[in-house]
Amino acid sequence: MLDINYILENKDKIIKAIGDKCLSVSLFDGDLLKSYTADDFVELLCHTDQKRKELKTKVDLLRQKRNIISEKIGKANEILKSELISKAKEIKKELSHYGPELEGIEKDFIDLMLRVPSVPSEDTPIGTCDEDNVEIRRWGEIPLFDFEPKDHVELGELLDILDISRGVKISGSRSYFLKNQGALLELAVCRFTIDQLVKKGFTPFLVPLMVKDEAMIGTGFFPGGEEQSYRIDKDKLNLIGTSEVSLTSYHSGEILEEKDLPKMYTGFSACFRREAGTYGKDTRGIYRIHQFHKVEQVIICKNDPDISRDMHKFILQNSEEVLQLLKLPYRVVNVCTGEMGQGQVYKNDIETWMPSRNSYGETHSCSTLHDFQARRLKIRYRDANGNIQYVHTLNNTVVASPRILIPILEIYQQSDGSVLIPEVLQPYMGGQKLIRPRNK
């Protein structure tokens, strides 16, 4: 959510942001779903805000008059008291009309405000799809094999560490089992990553996997992302798609102290995503699945673009260091406007080399959101001058598994089908250095 005054003063920027981010705005008009152009949507928001302010002023004046009359009634004589009571009844009648009307327009106003996107930073490339992302840098050498390499599915079956068919049998498409050293390898890479962050001062969390709508709205996943989420209607709870939701909501409704910032949190959790709209895309293997584990970084810092920029570089570097220690080649891209989320001001993706795709595949996303989430969640801090300000928030995947197992298995494979375990993970695997095919 943005400041309404900023929106009113920067209508053209908001209209451009809606277009650049390829966002569509559809709202219910009665029982009909109506689509709005960016211009019409912003105009509707401004009109609703003006009407809200006028109605609120009217209601506030009526309440003020009612309070004044109430004070006078206790001191008035019988004749004057009768007149005052009559006036109080008239005011009550007006409030019974305007009060609900104000509540309705306030609700409409909030619904519109929740759909306003952040304005992308000036260094964000304009584009509509991932092909318009701009590469910033690469690290590591792409492996060359002197044998016919296998993909992660073939390797997983040969090593008896991955069972997709039985996963599909009991849970449907995009499901899987990790077993034997496959299960241990996922736990190893996640624990290794958490340890790297704890060394840097991050507080580790195991977070709630089910959250209220307020947390999904507060972090910007609702409205708009309902189709990607699994919902438990009976309990009005949602399964998280990232621990960012739980971690960023941790301080919702609180006023923090400037001296306690930045807050650096890392969460480990199972994550759940419907992958709606991806029918027929990345169907082989464990690249695009419904359930996975992720280690996430969340930063809560002062309301300062320069500090946010430094924090963004910091958490992006943390993810790069993990990949470098795993010795996995990758590239960093500057994500274009059309691939950004509603609240993101600036975003980088890290794509790790996956031999079976003969290309880089997205494994990490690093996002700066300024006060977009903080305004929704009402997370503020008291600055050195005693003023109350909204914080800035950032987040970044440090590792997501089993997707990260794709490059590990495929890059570290040997000619006989065995897979070397990355050196930094061997202590987490009881010193094991190699995963061998089961028949060997």
Distances (CA, A) of 76 to 63, 64, 79: 20, 18, 8
Catalytic residue among 365, 375, 401, 410: 365
Distance of alpha carbon 203 from alpha carbon 262, whole angstroms: 12
The residue type of 49 is: D
| Torsion angle of the four alpha carbons 383, 388, 389, 395, in this order, in degrees rounded to the nearest 10 | 80
Catalytic residue among 186, 308, 403, 410: 403
Catalytic residue among 288, 309, 382, 436: 288
Q: How far apart are the first and last CA of the chain?
A: 58
Active site residue 288: yes
Token output for 398 = 């440090």
Distance of alpha carbon 348 from alpha carbon 367, whole angstroms: 7
Task: Indicate the burial class of 200 (C-beta count within 10 angstroms; 0-12, 13-18, 19 or more).
Answer: middle
Decide if 372 contacts 119 (C-beta within 8 A).
no
Distance of alpha carbon 413 from alpha carbon 407, whole angstroms: 10
Q: Does the CA dihedral 74-78-79-84 come out positive or negative?
A: positive
Please state the length of the chain: 440
Catalytic residue among 320, 339, 362, 410: 362
Residue (of 359, 338, 356, 340) closest to 348 by Cα position: 340
Active site residue 78: no
Decide if 437 contacts 417 (C-beta within 8 A).
yes
Q: Under the phi-then-psi rule, with left for phi > 0, alpha for psi from -120 to 50, and beta for the rest, what region is 271?
A: beta
| 122: phi then psi, degrees, rounded to nearest 5 | -65, -25
Catalytic residue among 174, 273, 376, 380: 273
The DSSP call for residue 176 is -
Cβ neighbors of 103 (< 8 A, separation 6 or more) are none
Which residue is it, tokens 């390499």? 149
Q: Which residues are catalytic?
A: 273, 288, 362, 365, 403
